[in-house]
Amino acid sequence: MGKLGVSVYPERSTYEQDAAYLTIAAQNGYQRVFTSLLEIKGDAEQVLANFKAVIAKANDLGMQVMVDINPALFAQLGVAYDDLRFFHALGAWGIRLDLGFTGAEEAQMTRNPYGLKIEVNMSQGTHYIDNIMSYSPNTDNLLGSHNFYPHRFSGLGQAFFDRATALYTRYNLNTAAFVNAQAATFGPWPTQDGLPTLERHRDLPIATQVKHYRLLGTINDVIIGNAYASAAELAAASAAFTAAYPTLTVVAAKEASPLEKELLFANQHHYRGDASEYLLRSTQTRVTYASRDFPAHHTVAIKRGDVLIDNNGYGQYKGETQIALQAMPNDGRVNVVGHVHPDELFLLDELKPWSGFLMTPAK
């Protein structure tokens, strides 16, 4: 099981606000903290004192702080890549290299005497990680994380994200990516339209973003990129991250009967393994409800994402629950009882045959 994380930006907030946020996050099971020290403006001693205080608070809460830096900061602070005591003294769990070195330096950094984690940028899509691996790093201390993207429409596309992530998962390295909190208002820079890794996530509810990463199965740690997520968002992301089964949000049709809603929302569903291109089939409900009556109604044409229950006209299939994977005609034997919420329709691409899932009613 991976870890959930939040982000704080001490230069753009106050210690009291950051400490309160970290406390709520820790209470919701968050274990990682991301913060950014890409440049230091003004009084360096005061800036670093603020960071150290926030990091100390996170450490007191049992959280692990990753500090984002770049090579220019090493020069500004007078820190060498082969002597990381500065970051150890800061209280950091690890350092994230926004921009890397040549590969040899990163490998050497993973063998630092303080056990600091070295996290590298997964969003480049190059064979940078192969170069690091050729220098025999300590992989226990080597992690990867994607970037986040404050500019609307600049976030990663799914195909590129998958290719870039695969470069890291083949080495069994810990991976991380960012999600966007809709209630949050700031990040490390003055302008931001949210801070997701994937562009498709930018305007989605945070739970949906987390569900997507869990279904992909390639990202260990999920971090909220912007501050501050609301208490409701922190709880929703935590529930989605720790859920035993993925949950699809379904908008029930107004025509759906109480019995049909019971089939959808009071049962665990199993994606039948001999998969169809047209239907995601959850067949156990036809066994459990074999003696119940499912009269035909709302037998309209079927669209992708429609939630279906076979009615009495389908004989032995009566009571079977399905989700349409593409448009189909309806010959009158299938009741259209709901629809996967539009925000979550894309999750159907990631559900796998033989997997279990739940459905929950849209609020």
Instruction: Calculate the average pLDDT of the chain.
Output: 96
* Homologous superfamily of 4-243: Aldolase class I (3.20.20.70)
Is the pLDDT score of 253 beyond 90? yes
What is the per-residue pLDDT for 72? 82
| Residue 37 CB coordination number (10 Å) | 25
Gap between the Cα atoms of 161 and 173, Å rounded: 16
Residue, of 5 and 43, whose pLDDT is higher: 5
pLDDT at 164: 98
Q: Per-residue pLDDT for 251 more than 90?
A: yes
pLDDT > 90 fraction of the chain, expressed in percent and rounded: 90
Q: At what angle do helices 231-242 and 15-27 cross, to 10 degrees?
A: 30
- 1 pLDDT above the threshold of 90: no
Residue 39 has pLDDT above 80, yes or no: no
pLDDT (average), residues 155-174? 98
Cβ 209 vs Cβ 179: under 8 Å: yes
Read off the pLDDT band of 71 (50, 70, 90). confident
**E runs forming strands in the chain:** 4-7, 32-36, 64-69, 94-97, 117-121, 142-145, 174-179, 221-224, 247-252, 269-270, 279-282, 306-310, 321-324, 334-340, 356-361
More confident residue, 122 or 100: 122
Give the list of residues 6+ apart from residue 27 with CB closer than 8 angstroms, or none.
none
CATH of span 248-361: 2.40.100.10
Range of lowest pLDDT (72-76, 127-131, 285-289) = 72-76
How does pLDDT run across 202-227, given as a tens digit for each residue? Answer: 999 999 999 999 999 999 999 999 99
- 38 pLDDT above the threshold of 80: no
User: How far is 214 from 237, CA to CA, in rounded Å?
Assistant: 11
Asked whether the predicted pLDDT for residue 10 surpasses 90, the reply is yes
- DSSP E strands in 215-320: the ranges are 221-224, 247-252, 269-270, 279-282, 306-310
Q: What percent of the chain has pLDDT over 70?
A: 100
| pLDDT-derived band at 75, boundaries 50, 70, 90 | confident
Residue 235's region, left for phi above 0, alpha for psi from -120 to 50, else beta, is alpha
User: Which of the four pLDDT bands, split at 50, 70 and 90, describes residue 324?
Assistant: very high
pLDDT tens figures, 167-182: 999 999 999 999 999 9
pTM over 0.85, yes/no? yes
Domain boundaries, the chain: 4-243, 248-361
pLDDT at 108 over 80: yes
Residue 94: per-residue pLDDT? 98
pLDDT in tens, 309-320: 999 999 999 999
The residues, any chain, with a CB within 8 Å of residue 189's CB and separated by 6 or more, are 150
Of 62-71, 109-118, 275-284, the one with minimum mean pLDDT is 62-71
With 90 as the cut, is the pLDDT of residue 346 above it? yes
Please report how many Cα atoms fall inside a 13 Å half-sphere around the Cα of residue 283, on the Cβ side: 10
